[in-house]
Amino acid sequence: MGADEQHRRPDGVSEATVEALGKLSEALETVERARGRLYDMHQLIGHADLMLDDAVQLFRDAGHAKLAERIETELVGRNVLAGRWTFQIVEDFDDNYYGLFKQLDRDARDELVQGRRHLYEADMKERRRTHGRPGHEARP
């Protein structure tokens, strides 16, 4: 039976083209993982900044007003990079790198394989599965 139509290589598309698209897709998947870590940082730094409010109050309650004041004025709400909070880093990444990467991946697929995704993986699945064996079906 083989792969479904959306995962079948269009006529005339070379193995080299599918391999190149597969490598581009793999690179994008790596960038997706990096983007997730960037969002992790954004949320973790934001949470830590809010936790500082409690630390400041606890230092005040413990009689360490000078230290509490220093943390409150020097660290609470501080930029993590020059002039930037983490939301600005995330936005800049999305607007200037991630968005272009996604667009180029989409454009390459549209131009070369009628927009089809994961052709490299679909070919690999077809090569590696045991035809006729339960759990190795080409599609649901």
Which tens digit of pLDDT belongs to each residue from 34-50? 999 999 999 999 999 99
Do 31 and 101 meet the contact criterion of CB atoms below 8 Å apart? Answer: yes
CA-only gyration radius of the chain, Å: 25
Q: Tell me the sheet residues that pair with 84.
A: 81
Q: Which of 83, 79, 89 is nearest to 49 (CA)?
A: 79
Tens-place pLDDT, residues 56-85: 999 999 999 999 999 999 999 999 999 999
Tokens of 122: 């679909």
Tokens of 69: 């004041």
pTM of the model: 0.85
Do 139 and 1 meet the contact criterion of CB atoms below 8 Å apart? Answer: yes
Do 83 and 106 meet the contact criterion of CB atoms below 8 Å apart? Answer: no
